[in-house]
Amino acid sequence: MIGRAMPEPRTLPIPAIDPLEFPTGLVWLIGAGPGDPSLLTLQGAQALSLADTIVHDSLIDERLLDWRRDDAEIIFAGKRGGRPSPKQVDISLQLIELSKQGRRVARLKGGDPFVFGRGGEEALTLVRAGIPVRVTPGVTAGIAGLAYAGIPLTHREVNQSVTFITGHDHSGDTPGAIDWPMLAKGSQVIIMYMAIKNLRQITDSLLAGGRHEREPVTIICNATFSNQQVLETTLARAADEIEAYRLETPAVICVGATGLLRLAIDWKSALDGKPIRHINPLDSEARSLWGGLG
Ligand code: SAH
């Protein structure tokens, strides 16, 4: 294989795959994927290319907007540069207004619109207002981040279940509705969104609930972007280490032994030229190699 010329990628006109209807007045919630713009779905790209107006959040790679029509209107509805973010209700009202003006509205949201992204709230408000809605799922950060860190979300010998949690609720505190002792006891692998700020409190709760101090924790920052960083740590050390390394958000955090598979499968570092660690990551000795920033 080495030395052979790169093949030309085949380009297909997307409508040839699945021609989609985008009626006027429809609001189309589209998952943008986690970061790398090539992780947008084909359906999402096609919807963007048909929209009259695209309303998007922060955390969206601007290159995704290249899918727009030349005359499309772009509206930014997120937080940027410390300015206050528009309230959720204002965004929903704006979507209703645009729909009533007879526009085809693409509502582009990071990751998957229905995973910790308030897509449900927007959809509910729209449906209640009698506005037609369509939803295109996206690649969510909690799954993509693990894949890009070389960690299978499930692995037969390690875990048969996964729990997704958010690290804060609307008040900014750790979600009171989560039963932490039960989570600690019953969840084999825990994937956390928006958990950096409250990480110490979360790891303390998990330790108090009986999780092992040396349980592997993987923190994936800027997942799938070119500046992705991955910290291998443990439940006892995680909160101190994110402060010490001044890790950047956005970040997803994986608590669980499945992280150890990264020791062998860290394909991204391998492509970047780092040596592959030829070990069985599930051997007890492999754990001694766990730790550090990559
Ligand atoms: N709907 C989104 C999540 C929105 S909540 C999705 O499905 O991915 C925002 C949180 O998502 C961030 O605080 C972070 O925990 C996570 N996140 C989003 N993009 C990320 C990225 N590129 N890398 C790491 N975490 C990310």
How many Å lie between the centroid of ligand 1 and the Cα of residue 141? Answer: 5
How far is it, in rounded angstroms, from Cα 238 to Cα 120?
A: 32
288 class by beta-carbon count within 10 Å (0-12 exposed, 13-18 middle, 19+ buried): exposed
Each residue's pLDDT, cut to its tens digit, for the chain (294 residues) gives 567 888 888 887 777 667 789 999 999 999 999 999 999 999 999 999 999 999 999 889 999 999 999 999 999 997 655 555 677 788 999 999 999 999 999 999 999 999 998 999 999 999 999 999 999 999 999 999 999 999 999 999 999 999 999 999 888 899 989 999 999 999 999 999 999 999 999 999 999 999 999 999 999 999 999 999 999 999 999 999 999 999 989 999 999 999 999 999 999 999 999 987 778 898 888 888 999 898
How many Å lie between the centroid of ligand 1 and the Cα of residue 27? Answer: 22
Partnered with residue 133 across adjacent β-strands are: 27
What's the CA angle centered on 176, arms 173 and 178, to 5 degrees?
120
Domains contained in the chain, CATH given: 14-139 (3.40.1010.10), 142-293 (3.30.950.10)
How far is it, in rounded angstroms, from Cα 271 to Cα 115?
A: 30
How many Å lie between the centroid of ligand 1 and the Cα of residue 124? Answer: 22
Strands of the sheet containing 73-76, edge to edge, are 73-76, 53-56, 105-109, 27-31, 133-136
Residue of the CA atom closest to atom 15 of ligand 1: 193
Only one residue has tokens 């009171």, namely 176
Choose, from 66, 79, 173, 185, the residue flagged as catalytic: 79
How many Å lie between the centroid of ligand 1 and the Cα of residue 118? Answer: 12
| Whole-prediction pTM | 0.94
79 carries an active-site annotation: yes
185 carries an active-site annotation: no
Only one residue has tokens 């492509």, namely 271
Return the pLDDT at 170: 84
How far is it, in rounded angstroms, from Cα 206 to Cα 222?
A: 25
Directed axis angle between helix 238-245 and helix 199-208, to 10°?
A: 160
Return the pLDDT at 82: 52
Query: Which residues approach ligand 1 with their CB closer than 6 A?
Result: 34-35, 59, 110-112, 115-117, 140-141, 145, 193-194, 220, 222-225, 249-252
109 carries an active-site annotation: no
The DSSP secondary structure of 69-116, one letter per residue, reads -TT-EEEE-S--TTPPPPPHHHHHHHHHHHHHTT--EEEEESB-TTSS
